[in-house]
Every structure is written in C-alpha cells, then in structure tokens.
Structure 1
Amino acid sequence: MRSDFLFTSESVSEGHPDKVSDQISDAVVDLFLSKDPEARVACETMTTTQRVVLSGEIRCKGVFENGEWAPGSLDEIEQVVRQTVREIGYEQDGFHWETLIFENHLHGQSAHIAQGVDASGNKDEGAGDQGIMFGFACDETPDLMPAPIDYSHKILERMAADRHSGAAPFLEPDSKSQVTLRYKDGKPVAATAIVVSTQHAEGYDKGEKEAELKAYVKSVVAGVLPDGFISDDTAWHINPTGSFVIGGPDGDAGLTGRKIIVDTYGGAAPHGGGAFSGKDPTKVDRSAAYIARYLAKNIVAADLATRCTIQLSYAIGVSKPLSLYVDTHGTGTVDDATLEEAIGKIEKLGGLTPRGIRTHLGLNKPIYRKSAAYGHFGRTADGDFFPWEKTDLAEDLKAALA
C-alpha cells in the first residue's frame, strides 16, 4: 500500500436521522432480549417529520407468540421508542418524543427462516443469513482503529456530552464530522481538513453567536486530535452551508442501516454490506462482524501484526463458517495462513458458529443500543457492553501458534 497519502472518514451524531433510526431499532432489540435471551428480532425503523414507523419480524417468549401480542407489550414498545427519542434530545416542533406519531408494523418471524436457523435433533443452530463479514484493526490509535474514523467519532461524542450537560446549550442533536489526515510512511501525522456541521439554536448562524459556535467546535477538535495535528495549513469547514436550525428527522428522513461505513471503519477496511442495528445476534451480519473485529484486534494487540483484516462467510441455516481469511497486509510476524490455523485451534471460539460466537462474547443480552451511535468498534469494553473490544484472546493466539 502507499505510504504517503490523504485519507478521510466521517461520522454522524446520535441525532442524525439515520442514527435515530438505528438507536430505536436497537432499543427494540434490547427490549426483546431483556424478556427472552433467545428472542429473534429484525426491526427496521423509519423516521421523518413527527413520525416513527417500525416494521420487521420478531419471535419472543412472553411478548409475541403464536401470532399474538402479550397484554401491554405494544404499549411497552411505544414507551421504549419515545424514551429513546427523548434521551437523544428531540423536543422540537418537527420531531418531539412526546407528540410524534408512532406506528408499529412488527409481526411474527417467517417459519421458513426459523426452521433453517433453529437447532433441532442433530442439527446445530444455523446462521440467520448468508453473507460475508469483515473485521479490522490497526495500531494507528490506542483503540486500534483507523485514525480518521476514530477522531471523527470522538469529536461528535464530546459535542454531544457538552449538549447533554448544558455546557454547549446552543447545540441541537443533529451533527456530522469529517476528518482528513495526511499519512507519511503509513502513519497519520497531520489534519489537512476538518468538516463539522452541527444543528444549532436560532441565531447561531451570524455575528458573534456564529463566531462563538465556530470557536467552540475548533476547541473540541483541538482536544481530540493529537498535539501537532492542527496547524495553520488545516482547512476548516464549520457549518459550511450556513444556517442549520432544521435538522434530524424533520430535515431528512432516517432509516435503519444506512450508515454502515460510519458504524465500522470509515472506509479504511472492506465491508460485507450487512447492517448491524435492529438485528438479534443470530444474524451473522452482526455477530460475525463483531467476532471478526475481536479476532483482528487481538492479533494486533498480541503484536502479531500492526494491521489486520479478517473475512468470514456463512450460509443461511448452516452453522460452521464457509471460509476464514486473514490478511495482515505484510505486517505480520507469522504467516497469514498460520494465523488462520491458530484461530481454528482455539476451542473457546466454538468453531466460529453463530452459537459459539454468541456464547464466547455473551451477545444474548440487551447491550446494543449503546453501539448504535459513534461506531460499533473502537469503543471501551465495559461489563457486558462491547465485549468484542476486549483483548483477552491475545495469549490464546500466542499459545495456538507455539
């Protein structure tokens, strides 16, 4: 790969309409998993001006069985949706948690899909769909993430924290960031361009208030990027279109699963195409992408490579992966094929079957809404949350290579 180049990644905030949809979908997943760890959920959300619409398929003991909703379940789903919107911070005329119109079109899971996925007799539980999934890690940041996406996320996270705390009361929920970094000898060394567009209160698009907003954004960026990355040569584009008062679902419709590059590696690694949010962990679009990140991160954390891409593939109804591919991009201390063999020897991974993945990472828990904004990767493993970010497999990898 080239050693000297520019590379750009973007992030979007929790208030972006697509991310509102992702968080609602994952809040629904969490609700069902809290009732039934074996729940099956495929929940899509559409958000627009003063409206939230759910659709999809579910199966959940005590909530939806034999084609019937348990008493109170529909009200509980609506409460979760409204609470999610409220926590994001939407209390605007065009999108308000309390007054928005809510529609629920969730229904039972297809029996034909269920028969392929469910374990029965001598048949192990199969994958919830076919597909390819990628995981990636590199040593550009302490989070073992590509630097442009890592910094893009952190800029918006800090702005959101200030909005929620009241430290930046002029901010509204919808925002986007974009970071362009210069790489020299394969390492990021400087920011050549920063783009931040943030929804704001009335009046912060001109005069002293506009200057206050822009100064605030620059201070946040300076606090996120490493020392020396910002210089007089850095190009700044803060709210480049001017006024940004109308935003969120009132400004643009949102859909679950439309920010898959934001959710992963910012374009610095391949993506299999499947979204994560709204899916229970039998769907390998989600769980296999998580285990692929976990494997790649542990390879880098074990100093077996400084850059690693992993691909897995599955067939619907089939338990074992069809393929495992490791590419350390010429940075590995051992051969890539040897790493593939080593991964296969680690019994705790359960053969990378859907059940094995869920068991090892503990994915049958209501842990997903936190992942639905600011990236699924590069986060801090905390209790049950973000278990795929742990680096507890490093010693197992080294032992398997011995």
Structure 2
Amino acid sequence: MPPFDVSEGDPFGPHNLPYGVFSRAGSTERTVGVRLGDQVLDAGAAARALGSPYAALLARPSLNPLLAAGRTAWSDVRRALTAWVTVPSHQETIAAHFHPLDSVTLHLPFEVADYVDFYSSEHHARNVGQIFRPDAEDSLTPNWKHLPIGYHGRSGTVVVSGTDVVRPSGQRKAPTDPAPVFGPSVRLDIEAEVGFVVGTPTRMGAPVPLGGFRDHVFGLCLLNDWSARDIQAWEYVPLGPFLGKSFATSVSAWITPLDALEDARTAPPPRTHRPLPYLDDSEDEPGGYDLRISVAVNGHTVAEPPFSTMYWTAAQQLAQMTVNGASLRTGDLYGSGTVSGPAPEQRGSLLELTWNGRDPLELPDGKRAFLEDGDVVTLSAWAPGPAGTRVSLGEVTGRVVAG
C-alpha cells in the first residue's frame, strides 16, 4: 500500500505525526523520522527534496535541535509536515523517503539533559499512604495538596522502548530482618507514567509561570519508571529515592507534539485546597490531558490508568520545578508520577495492584506479586483526536533480565 494511503481513523494518521529518531537496516546513521501509519518518513530527506528551510532542523541524529528552536518553529514544521503528507502535489517528491516501520531501528529520540519525577496522582498517593501508613489519620502527607512533590532522578539511565532492564542489586532490609542484606531486588515494580519533553531552555533565576508551559514543552511520551521497592524502602529515609529508582527509566520511541493533543485537553479534578498564586490555574485554560493508558505484563492487560484523574497538571509541575529559579535545558524530561485511577483495575503499579504483594495478580503464566526475570511490561496509550479519531502515543516496552 502506498505510504500516503493510511486507513481512515488510523491512530497514526496525519492528525498525529509523532517524531522519533531511526536508522535504516545496515546503517548506523541516525536521523529524525515522523510516523504515518506503519511508515516512517525521513523528515530531513523530505525537507531537502522539497527545498524546505527546515531541513537543517530535521536532518539531524537527534530531536534536540528542533526542540531548541522554540514554539514558532515547532508549529511551522508541523504545518509543513502535514502538508507534505496530505497534499497530492508533494507525494511523488517524498514517496521515496518513506520506510516501513518494521524495516528500521528506533533510537532514543532526544538527548536527555535532566530528569525529574513527580508524584501527582491523588489515587496513587493515597494508596501508597494506606499501604505504608495504615494507621495514619490522613493517607496523604501534609504538603501533598499544596505542591507537586518531585525528586531529581538520573538522566543517564533513560532508555528507549525495547531496551532490556537488568534487575538491580542493592541493600534491602525487611522489617523482621536483624540487619540489611545485599542482593538482587525481589520486589521489582513498574510505574505507568507520562513524560514531558522540554524544548526551549531558560536562564537561572527565571521561573516559568503556568502560562509558559506551551512555550517550553514540546511534547510528551509514555514513560515507565522502574522501581525496586525493597531497595527503595530501606534507603529512602530521609533523602528520598536513589538506587531503587536510578537503574532504568524507559520511554517510548515516539514524541507526540502538544499540538496533536488539542482535542484531548481537559480540566483537572476539582481542587480541595486552593493553590498558592504561582500554582493557581483556576482562571487558566484546561491543563489536564485525557490519555487512556494500558499496562500489560507478558501480553496480558493488568491495568488501565486514566491520566485525566491526575491532580497536578504538567503546567503546574513545570512551574514548581522552576519556581526557585532552577533553569531548564533543552532535552529536560519530567515524569508525571505513577498514574492511578479510583478503581482497583486503574492502578499504575504492581505495588498498588497487589497491595504490596498481599494479593498477587493471576496471570495466564502464573501469579505475580512483583516482576520475575523474563517478564515483559508494555505500556500503551491513546487520546481523543479531531472528528472522533484517536491519537496513539505508541508504546514503551521492557523485558526484565537477571543481573
């Protein structure tokens, strides 16, 4: 089928056009690609063939030059790409620059600068509080309704979908153990999240207000923030996550631009506490996104977390991340935190789904409290698009291998 003949309603149709980086079979040369159906357009080669001024941004081995170009360039390039794949007069020129998806290798689409992970689902936070503080009067910490809680992670271990995840080792100590022991994690978990990719940088001392979100964030991707719960439980007091989180964070190979998600915008849940002015979005445009996530273990769906339930929005997270004057760099990545909904089947981690191992999942290949070697975890998602279409966010997958 010609590359332009995408079936009506294809979630990777011209209304989507996510960006990635690929190499062709037998080549190590990487370049920016744009997905249309089951084809990948070599965006730089197409731009050169059409004499486009955007060739310098697109004929690169990373999305970073495009990310750094800013909001006006992002919108202009998207309009141009949409025209290239929909206007018949362009088809003969660029047809040769499409490649079947199954014939290319996909790579990490951008160079990650810094990585921050948040904790912004009230349902997830309450579940975790009830698991670990069952006698507390309130399962949320006192600060939770006042600010998006986050921590700085390790950018060097952000990997693209399909990369194996080596089971981490470290210290762990169960409450009944007399002393800590060292060894592979026995409570390896996942966290179903959405990652936001920063394009336009800022200088130190210049916070980004809520209204600046779309000027600095290029797009989003699916993100699995793998977690070694036993290592984390022993090490995180008093300074927070460290080795239990830093061994791997997987992201999808496709970055969906914010402009493709206009029809998915939605209001966040009602706020029970009015935020301080720098986080108060009550007069702003809807800051949430209606993303429908699925979590599968070894091909079996175990959860369907709804991103629309997230209490803190991506714009509020960015404002919190920079309010102290911390600067942004092109390629910064920040995760939403585990996405969980109010129903048991909407929980975005095994910690919640099995209630810390008490209620193992019944899978076709056996019970699971936490992940075993050889298990394959896949996150996928879609969002409402224009005229009743769907916008696919692709998937992020990883296989656990022994350390």
TM-score past 0.5 threshold:
no
Which one scores higher on RCO, CA 8 angstroms, separation ≥ 6? 1
TM-score band w.r.t. shorter chain: under 0.3
